Amino acid sequence: MDSKNNYYSDWRKEQFYKNEGFFPVFNDFRYLMRFLSPGAISLYIYLGLHSNYKTGEVFHSLGKIAIYFGKSTRTISNWMKELEELNLIKREQFEVNKVSHTFLQPYSTNNIPSFNGEDK
């Protein structure tokens, strides 16, 4: 069992030292997942992996994202809407007919809708 733990630890160190960047998903995200479709969760991870690590900005077009996932732009828009409704992202279009910029937003248990009396 100890060798399995070392394998995981070694893998994490190796990934870190590759210096290719990474996207942290913090513990509070587990409370938000129950309000998101599997597609929206996948999109959030995609956005995180493609975001600027200092600003959280991503400017991939809906078309580019749709091609990646093999889905329609309408589906990607619906997933974006789910993420916006939970304040996980903010989208802004700075120029008419140009790609919208998507910004990852800080999240915490404050973003979480009521659990109908359930513990967070």
pLDDT digits (tens, 9 = 90+) for 70-114: 999 999 999 999 999 999 999 998 878 777 899 999 988 776 666
Kindly state the average pLDDT of the residues 10-15: 83
pLDDT band at 119 (very low <50, low <70, confident <90, very high): low
The reported pLDDT for the residue numbered 4 is: 62
In whole angstroms, what separates CA 19 from the centre of its chain?
20
Q: pLDDT tens digit string along 23-45?
A: 889 999 999 999 999 999 999 99
pLDDT for 117 equals: 44
Of the candidates 53, 66, 65, 64, the one whose C-alpha atom is nearest the C-alpha of residue 103 is 53
In this predicted structure, what is the pLDDT of residue 97?
75
In one letter, which amino acid is 108?
S
What does the pLDDT read at residue 111? 66
The span from the CA of 51 to the CA of 58, in Å, is 5
